[in-house]
Structure 1
Amino acid sequence: MDGVRLHRLGKHLIDLARQVTTDAGDTALTPGEVAVIEDVFKHPGSVVTEIQARTGFAQSHVSASVSRLREQGLIVAAPDPADRRRTRLSVTDIAHRAIMRRAGRPADETIAQVVGEEKAERVLKLLGELADLLKM
């Protein structure tokens, strides 16, 4: 498999994961906001410059996304005890529960819609094996 095919596969898997983990009634977040909240979820207590470094987004983009996520009640900010000029960010409890609930949704139905019922079991087994091999 070449890099382009691997990239396409990764993008397709991300699109499928997004279908599994979102509902029509979910709050609509931009892809940038999703990346920021995922980063804060993985790295609670981060500051904007750390999120910027990990995501590769411009600091102004991260700051704007953080502002919108705070307005929606998905991220909270607290002063850094070591340097009160800095703000540490974490996901709210409600956002944490929503992320965990969505992350636990089974992918079976979405995979079956894409490859058909007869191939879905094999695809799910292969994806599980791939995740194990990649230590995910």
Structure 2
Amino acid sequence: MDGVRLLRLGKRLTELGREMIIDPASAHLTPGEIAVIADVYRHPATSAREIQVRTGFAQSHVSVSIARLRERGLLDAAADPQDGRRTLLSASEVARRAIREHVARPAGPVIAKAVPDPERARRVTELLDELAVLLLP
């Protein structure tokens, strides 16, 4: 496998992963908003600046995404107990529940849709499980 094929494979796997975790109800979220809420989910009680550093997004983009997510009730905000001027963000209970439900879904149906032959879809699932064991920490 060369680098270009590896990048193409990574992109395709990302597309399949997004299809699994993004349902029609969340389709109104932009990819940037999804990245912000995913970051906050992994790093609760975090600041906008910390989100900006981890995601690499411009501060203005992070701020707009945070405002939209707060309006939708997907992010909770609280004053930093150590520095009252700072706001700390966490995923709301509604967002955490939705994320847990979507992440826990099996990949089989998405893979079967991408690879219509049932035997090949089963093999793809096996290979992905093996790659996950070998490549993920």
Return the TM-score normalized by structure 1: 0.94
Whole-angstrom CA distance in 1 between matches of 2:48 and 2:90: 11
Once superposed, which parts of structure 1, at least 4 consecutive aligned residues long, lie more than 4 Å away?
none
Q: Distance in 2 between matches of 1:14 and 1:57?
A: 19
**Tell me, what secondary structure is at the counterpart of 1:25?**
helix
Residue of structure 2 in register with 1:113 after alignment: 113
Q: Percent identity?
A: 57
Change (3 A) 1:25 1:37: closer
Letter in 2 for 1:31: P
1:7 aligns with 2:14: no
In 1, the alpha carbon distance for the partners of 2:27 and 2:113 equals 24
Write out per-residue CA displacement over residues 29-76 of structure 1, whole angstroms, 9 at most, x where no aligned residue. 100000000000000011011100010000010000000000000001
In structure 2, the residue matched to 1:97 is 97
Aligned-partner SS, 2:82: coil
Look up the match of 1:78: 78
Structure 1 residue runs of 5 or longer lacking an equivalent are: none
CA displacement 1:72-107 (0-9 Å, x = unmatched): 000011000111110000000111010000111111
Instruction: Return the offset for 1:24.
Output: 2.5
Unaligned runs of 5+ in 2: none
- Partner Cα distance (2:17, 2:78) in 1: 31
TM-score normalised according to structure 2 size: 0.94
Letter of the 1:131 counterpart: A
How many angstroms apart in 2 are the aligned matches of 1:5 and 1:38? Answer: 27
The alpha carbon displacement at 1:135 in A equals 2.8
Q: Give the alignment of 1:22-33 within 5 angstroms.
A: 22-33=22-33
- SS of equivalent to 1:77: strand
Residues in 2 aligned to 1:54 and 1:29: alpha-carbon distance in whole angstroms = 19
The answer to whether structure 1 residue 133 and structure 2 residue 137 are counterparts is: no
CA change 1:115–1:27 in 2 (3 A) is closer
The equivalent of 1:69 in structure 2 is: 69
Q: Secondary structure at the match of 1:88?
A: strand
Instruction: Find the counterpart in structure 2 of residue 41 from structure 1.
Output: 41
